[in-house]
Structure 1
Amino acid sequence: MSHNFKPGDLAILKSSEAEHLIGSVVELIAYVGSEFHMVYAGTEAFNPNQHRIWWVKITSGQTFDSIVRGPVSDGFCGEFRLIPLRGDFAPEQQKSREVVA
């Protein structure tokens, strides 16, 4: 399922391998694709299930431990782990302005 994300969109992490980040807001930086294979500093990254993958940045200043880079606030994220913060998922005060009385 694609939410028609674009770079700059905000989303909430609904799941993460770094459990302390669940519920965090992230900014989508760039769409990586669904087919990639990368080797960086001897560590291999690939996407065997061909999920849509984004490069994201955590907006809260929290970090997670990257095997290759140490504590970081940005990294790969599967689109299936994201809840968009716009449209039907916008905060209630924003949606309430759209209601015509």
Structure 2
Amino acid sequence: MSHNFKPGDLALVINHTFPPVIGTCVELISRHLVSPVDRKDPMDPGVYEQEGGDPVWVVSEDKAIVWEKWLMPLRGDLIPEQQKAKEAVPCL
């Protein structure tokens, strides 16, 4: 699912293979399309740019890579509707 993220957006990491990253707020730096990860060779990082691949973002947290599907937007038009309603200013 695409949230129409752009560089500079803030996002919450909701899943990751490195558990301490889960729940952190990150700034998105750049989006890349990568091939599926192949874990057969432990010396091979397994992440290669590929046209038509799955989207990942390089994020501010130590220039880590996070799959786009594991990011939840934190501002702007991407905020969930329920939160937008709480922020609305009542008319007088």
Report if TM-score (shorter chain) is over 0.5. Answer: yes
- Matched residues, number: 81
- TM-score, reference length from structure 1: 0.62
> Structure 1, residues 44-92: CA drift from partner, whole Å, max 9, x if none?
33369x321111112xxxxxxxxxxxxxx222111000000023338x4
Matches within 5 A, 1:1-101: 1-35=1-35, 43-46=44-47, 50-58=53-61, 73-86=62-75, 87=77, 88-89=79-80, 92=83, 96-101=86-91
Structure 1 alignment gaps of length 5 or more: 59-72
Structure 2 alignment gaps of length 5 or more: 38-42
Q: Could you tell me the percent identity over the aligned residues?
A: 31
Greater helix content: 2
Report the RMSD for the aligned CA atoms in angstroms: 3.1
Greater strand content: 1
Q: 1:28, CA displacement in angstroms?
A: 0.3
- TM-score, reference length from structure 2: 0.67
